[in-house]
Amino acid sequence: MNKTTEPTLAELTETAIKILRRNNKGIFLFVEGGRIDHGHHDNRVQFALDETVQLSEAVKRAAGLLSQDDTLIVVTADHAHVMSINGYSNRGHDILGISRNTDTNKAPYMTLSYTNGPGFYNLTGNGVRPDVTKLQNFGTPQWRSHVDIPVTSETHGGDDVAVFALGPHHSMFSGLYEQSQLPYRMAWAACFGPGSVYCAGRSRLSLPNAGAIHWPLEHLHCLTLLALLASIPVYFFERPIN
Ligand SMILES: [Zn+2]
């Protein structure tokens, strides 16, 4: 990314909100942190996590610009990836580093690894996994975390994904759902679309003059921030400060 010419996801989100909010009938904005997905497909976990931080910044920027009184913000993922967190490392361990433990042949492995993808490294002559710390580009963003199954592009995962929400009717977004449920819930809360809606079954777009009847959510903004996460938000982890 060219930091001088390319806007961040947070900047793009802010600009979109400022333009769309001129419409006083309410807005629906969909923001996708799509590069998280690309990082995982390449097994470049540092890229994927950095992009997740960018998404987190976009959520923060949006929440600062929009009132929780009239804006529903939903943050979720449309699928998981096959990244796994190998456990038992100590608190404060570098999430992008090797695990505290080694495998049965005393070869180190990464805390974050993948089931499949292009990051497959051939076993050594005696069938032992290579020492990942000795591999080319180890520790750089370009380095691919190791995988079990070699394929040209890592696959999506089948895990359930989390959903988080702020604002009116946020309690409708706690737990696990079929992803096709989510747009219906947003439409219900914001009173738009052909299905049943919060505003007494009447589409918000067909409501009479807002001054004549008070509809508390008539101008509800609905903002979806979609992440292609690997199920676990990155901000659960801390990197040690060197
Ligand atoms: Zn994908």
CA of 197 to the centre of ligand 1 (A): 32
Q: What is the mean pLDDT of the chain?
A: 80
Q: Is 156 annotated among the ligand-binding residues?
A: yes
pLDDT at 225 (0 to 100)? 54
Q: What is the 3-state secondary structure (H, E, C) of the chain?
A: CCCCCCCCHHHHHHHHHHHHCCCCCCCEEEEEEHHHHHHHHCCCHHHHHHHHHHHHHHHHHHHHHCCCCCEEEEEEECCEECEEECCCCCCCCCCCCEEEEECCCCCEEECEEEEEECCCCCCCCCCCCCCHHHCCCCCCCCCCCCEEEECCCCCEECCCCCEEEECCCHHHCCCCCCCCHHHHHHHHHHCCCCCCCCCCCCCHHHCCCCCCCCCCCCCCEEEEEEECCCCCCHHHCCCCCC
CA of 149 to the centre of ligand 1 (A): 17
Q: How many residues does the chain have?
A: 242
Residue pair 146/86 in contact by the 8 Å Cβ criterion:
no
The answer to whether residue 8 scores a pLDDT higher than 90 is yes
pLDDT at 200 (0 to 100)? 56
Extract the tokens encoding 8.
């961040």
pLDDT at 96 (0 to 100)? 94
CA of 39 to the centre of ligand 1 (A): 9
pLDDT at 210 (0 to 100)? 34
CA of 176 to the centre of ligand 1 (A): 21
Within 13 Å of residue 199, how many CA atoms lie on the same side as its CB? 23
Angstrom distance (rounded) from CA 210 to CA 215: 7
Residue pair 31/14 in contact by the 8 Å Cβ criterion:
no
- Going by pLDDT thresholds of 50, 70 and 90, the confidence category of residue 201 is very low
CA of 156 to the centre of ligand 1 (A): 6
The answer to whether residue 161 scores a pLDDT higher than 60 is yes
The better pLDDT of the pair 211, 152 is held by 152
Please list, residue by residue across 119-142, b when 16 or more beta carbons sit within 10 angstroms of its beta carbon and e when fewer do: bbeeeeeeeebebbeeeeeeeeee
CA of 124 to the centre of ligand 1 (A): 31
Amino acid at 16: A
Over residues 126-140, the pLDDT tens digits come to 889 999 999 989 999
Q: Is 169 annotated among the ligand-binding residues?
A: no
CA of 237 to the centre of ligand 1 (A): 23
Strand partners, 93: none
Angstrom distance (rounded) from CA 179 to CA 140: 35
pLDDT at 47 (0 to 100)? 94
Please list, residue by residue across 36-50, b when 16 or more beta carbons sit within 10 angstroms of its beta carbon and e when fewer do: bbebbbbbbbbbbbb
Mean pLDDT of 123-128: 87
172-176, 201-205, 214-218: least confidently modelled range? 214-218
CA of 35 to the centre of ligand 1 (A): 9
Mean pLDDT of 135-156: 93
Mean pLDDT of 166-180: 85
Q: Is 37 annotated among the ligand-binding residues?
A: yes
Percent of the chain with pLDDT over 90: 43
Residue pair 109/99 in contact by the 8 Å Cβ criterion:
yes
Q: Is 41 annotated among the ligand-binding residues?
A: yes
CA of 157 to the centre of ligand 1 (A): 10
